[in-house]
Structure 1
Amino acid sequence: MTIEIADLTRRFDRTEVLRGINLAIAEGELVALLGPSGSGKTTLLKIIAGLDWPDTGSLTVNGQDWLAKRAQDRRAGFVFQHYALFPHMKVRDNIAFGLTVLPRRDRPSAAAIRARVDELMRFLQISALADRFPAELSGGQRQRVALGRAMAISPAVLLLDEPFGALDALVRRDLRRWLRDVLETSKTTSIFVTHDQEEAFELADRVVIMGAGRIEQIGRPDEIYDHPATPFVARFLGLSVELPVRLRAGRVEAPGLDATALPRRAMADGPAMLFARPADLAPVPAQDGPLRVAAISSTGALLHVQLTDDGGLAVETEVPRRRGLHLSLGQRVTLRVEAGQVFRDGAPAETPAETPAADSRPVPLRYEHSSKESLR
């Protein structure tokens, strides 16, 4: 089923929850809605399911206007974070529920329902749990039952709201891989909501980054990870070190900064901001370096190295422990950038910029952390 969302808006009192959402999803595609709490992800999912309604905009599935359909007529399967299984029903009855409440004209025979449930339990590898109640199941088993109930009606679209949020980390990892295989086999068009970057990138064909009711970026996981389109996306994906720099002939420059590993930027000369992940910054010993090592801590595999300048500002880098053994407290260093993204006035570096200011002197190297925490 193809999904087309155009100019969708939703407001609660004075709060704009969705601000002009435009999104196209191909048949059989698995799309993740990724973003922080309050970004509008779940509201968008509920509108697709028919559990909420937009103020303006359109929603079509295979060319049909879904905003004109009631929730029960949309054939959308919905998997909730906390499963929402019926505690008084056994596993097989929970899975069968959606079929048993269909209008009489659409309802399969009792034998057909039993066959469909048996087929799904085999497919989801939970046949041995058929006669158990939800209270007798683990969290991962309950999530499989919830998925089976959603898939029983052969949904046009499968919607999952934080499907692994109630599970521990080890179970989440195992279920992610399992769910990906299930959805690829069933070829069901699926949308899932998450605030977990690793989860979205591992599962989805495409990721939709949302922030404050807007879509900030859409793309394949690797595209988004390597090329965040806005400062919001960069910060959300962990590019937490922000370095004021200057662009000159497409190159990033700042005192004490070696950015030769970065590609040239199609952007006019002038001040800009470089966003980088701590793991993409390497301190290099230099007697005249503008930075000094202020603190070193180890996690076993990594060293967290905090650097400060003479003004008291600081930034933390991550270095593989064996590569950082040469570093010591008080040591002077420069900073080598292995990867990063450049923005100017909120726009990506690849966007042509305004004419640069007359003053083209290098700006001092300063560090900021996106969390706005004190760097004293």
Structure 2
Amino acid sequence: MSLVISHLARRFGATPVLRGIELEVRQGELIALLGPSGSGKTTLLRIIAGLDWPDAGGLSFDGTDWLAKSAAERRIGFVFQHYALFPHMTVRDNIAFGLTVLPRATRPGQAQIAATVDRLLRFLQIDGLADRYPAELSGGQRQRVALGRAMAIEPRVLLLDEPFGALDAQVRRDLRRWLRGVHDSTGTTTIFVTHDQEEAFELADRVVVMNGGVVEQIGHPDEIYDHPATPFVARFLGLTVELPIAMRAGRAEASGLDLSALPRRAIPDGPATLFLRPADIQPVPDPAAPFRVTEIASTGALLRIVAESDTGCRIEAEVSRREGRDLRVGHAVGLRPAAGQIFPGGATPLARPASAPKALKEARP
């Protein structure tokens, strides 16, 4: 049972928000929609949930057209960033809410609802909080209650919109590991929205990188981190150093750079752009090199080193304090990148054009 999104488009007034989204989510997958604010992540999530409708394209689950079904008919579990718990209800009543408002024909009996809630309280490790109200809970506890409420209806798909955005860093890290464990235990198909790269890479089976209403890249977290497919993905994932280079017989060349560690690339001869992470650049003392150290700043564990050439090329590198202890401002250095991504040509466009979406054939319900 897969969720299939095809040529999905949405605009608000004259502004396109989604431009031909193509995505298939397999049963039991945990997918992260990753991208900056305004990339269309939450709009896509709301369309899947039935809280918004596209202007064009298709959305189906297990072969059934979900655009012909209401939000209630889709049986979606939705967890919001700010919990959206009912303040006048106890934890137990909040979790039970989705079951109590089901149509009479499908609504479980009171005993079955109570048993389901008790099971979820134990599973989510909040059984000692059953009779408390949301105001008496910490942020992490509230988020667990919100997840329990979404899971109570046994959703076909679980959606989470920035689920940890309102929590402090340590609680976020703890809840990420906990949520991955919950997902592995239940096998529920899950899609979550985040702008936090660490969160997406730690939690997701696959990451969908979005920008300006298009999907830039889909893949396993390690694949995307090591091999960004577009200049936008490279920049977004921290490859902030961009250098003009030349390609010859599949090898990258540039004055003052030792690029021997980079593998051969199937890129035509000619100008290209090399994208690097500062942490992947090693400054090497070399009196004949064209770069000179102009700044050194310590962050505790790391040294941030800025090197500039006579031509005005400025590169920032990060090394451990041990590796940089012999470097001084004014030293001549060569630069040795350990890894990087190369795109042909000197220009590096931020995004690719989206394919034209097809119009919806049927009226919205």
Deviations 1:82-134 (A, max 9, x none): 00000000000000000000010010000000000000000000000000000
2:222 aligned counterpart, secondary structure: helix
How far apart, in 2, do the equivalents of 1:20 and 1:229 lie? Answer: 18
Letter in 2 for 1:257: L
8 Å contact from structure 2 (residues 206, 220) kept in 1: yes
Q: Is the 8 A contact 2:276 2:341 kept in 1?
A: yes
1:264 aligns with 2:279: no
Flag the structure with more relative contact order, 1 or 2, with Cα contacts below 8 A and sequence separation at least 6.
2
Q: Alpha-carbon deviation of 1:204?
A: 0.2
Q: 1: distance between equivalents of 2:44 and 2:152?
A: 23
Question: How do 1:115-154 and structure 2 match up within 5 A?
Answer: 115-154=115-154
1:331 equivalent in alignment to 2:334: no
**Post-superposition, which runs of at least 4 consecutive aligned residues in structure 1 deviate over 6 A?**
none
CA distance in 2, matches of 1:65, 1:75: 14
SS of 1:323's partner is coil
Q: Distance in 1 between matches of 2:205 and 2:30?
A: 5
Residues 193-217 of structure 1 show CA distances to partners (whole Å, capped at 9, x for unaligned) of 0000000000000000000000000
Structure 1 match to 2:228: 228
Aligned position for 1:113: 113
Corresponding residue for residue 305 of structure 2? 305
Alignment of 1:217-296 (within 5 A): 217-296=217-296
- Matched letter for residue 259 of structure 2: A
In the other structure, the counterpart of 2:41 is: 41
How do 1:1-376 residues align onto structure 2 when only pairs under 5 Å count?
1-345=1-345
SS at match of 1:274: strand
Structure 1 residue 347: Cα displacement: 8.2
SS in 2 for 1:175: helix
SS in 1 for 2:72: helix
**3-state SS, counterpart of residue 155 of structure 1:** coil
Amino acid at match of 1:344: P
Unaligned stretches of 5+ residues in structure 1: 349-376
CA distances 1:267-291 after superposition (whole Å, capped 9, x unpaired): 1110000000000011111111111
Could you list the per-position Cα deviations for residues 228-276 of structure 1 after superposition, in whole angstroms to 9, with x for gaps in the alignment?
A: 0000000000000001000011100011010000000111110000000
What residue identity is the alignment partner of 1:130?
A: A
CA distance in 2, matches of 1:301, 1:86: 45
* Cα deviation, residue 311, structure 1: 3.5
AA matched with 2:246: R
Contact 2:268 2:344 in 1 (8 A): no
Letter in 2 for 1:218: I
Once the two structures are TM-superposed, the CA of residue 158 in structure 1 deviates from its matched residue by 0.0
How big is the shift at 1:344?
A: 1.4
The Cα of 1:313 is off from its aligned counterpart by 3.8
Q: Deviations over 1:162-182 (max 9, x none)?
A: 000000000000000000000
Cα contact 2:273–2:348 (8 A) shared by 1 = no
Aligned length: 348
1:101 alignment partner AA: V
Amino acid at match of 1:195: H
CA distance in 1: counterparts of 2:61 and 2:6, whole angstroms: 12
Distance 2:250 2:313 in 1: 27
Query: Which residue identity lines up with residue 240 of structure 1 in the other structure?
Result: T
TM-score by length of 1: 0.91
SS of 1:97's equivalent in the other structure is helix
